[in-house]
A and B are shown apart, each in its own frame.
Chain A
């Protein structure tokens, strides 16, 4: 019989590796409390009486990049894009799988094809079209995210829908449900686990996305990644203290989100590894 016995060598090794993994964030955290001129030269020193500046970097950074408005834009765009993606692509995936004909087949392959196209291929033309169609605002960019995120989402929903037995839907039809009722009352509840996975994958992508929002709405509306990049400014002029504090503030929401639904996130990301 095997007993659960922890090997002390491996355990210590894992502790050391964990410290290496956490260290970069801790170093940034420590530096976020130091005066801006004491950061670049001595990043590995703890703050002293002379270099400790309390929360000045945080108040400076929040003012400089309007952090709370960036946080609001990021949150607004992420939440509504993810909801939109889940709502629309689950319907479309069900339609494509259940209504087999040439059109739906073609649609399916187009969506799958879009998954392998790198963003650089469409970045210029997409941002021009968004501009012409007046989609260059926080509401309009949601349409872009639904369109660009639909490939992976439809692919993942379809994979699951194929495994749902047809009998359930047929029974619903016989009981007098029209397709809309069948979808919302019968199918949508069954899709919940896949929806969580698809939602998490899209949320992580949209929350961290830099280039797409920068090109589409970056002039007027700054999301968190755009605001952090903006702080970089011209050479020599950047405020290292503000940068450190803003890095910390942009990591905190992610860590809260991660710790509160860790199981779903890890499961979701692994399930999404098919994307490639």
Chain B
């Protein structure tokens, strides 16, 4: 079932949790609501479920206006962050609950309910735990039971609030894949909330990035990564290094450091250059287009990658810069802690001070007409 939100807003007292926003979710889509805490993503999810009422706007499931429909009439599956299993019921009773509380006319017979519960428990691969109580299960098992319970009434919309938040990394990854395959198999429309960008990017068909009650950007994970439309999205989607640039004498300058942009008039102003940690190169000398001196503060292997932390030397940066390399690359460069190095961005995104807030994508080294790139 498709979901359409139009002009939805919500206030908690004086706090504007959601500014009026629109969102279209297509049938069978898997949407990730991504944002820091307090960005309104959970509020939005709860409004879709009907657990929270919107102050303004309309909400449609398909063509049906459900704005005023009570949560129990909306027939959505909802998976809570802390599972919210009924502790005094066995696993089987938990899963059967939604079927047992149906109005008498629609309610399946006891035998049918039993059969359906067994099927669901098999789907979540926990048939053998039928008679256990929730407290006897691990976090991952609880999460799967919560999911089975939500799916028991065959909802067309499944809503998940930080579904994997409380699980350890390995179980998380496993459950993520499993949820995705379940989604593809059963073809319900899913919306999930997360603050983990990896999770959002891996799992969703489209990601909704939110901050301060606004939708910042809605797009596919790939497009979002390639074209972040605001500084916020950029910041939130991954570690990013910032060069605060002042336009002076045809250079972006900051103390002793400088970058030379391509010769386009809209770039010739103050702003900030964003550089991702794996889109830059290190060398032992600057060149005519980039002079960003750093001292290596630490070299930390993290799994397959090595993270190099860099402190600006001779110019100001609010935070340490980060560069990521493979072990192999790093070995070839022969870097050590305390070395002085120069960064050359390969790809950067320029946010102009006077502009519409969107980024201009730049690639180095480029060749301005009539000049030669040379090392200083």
A, B co-complexed:
no
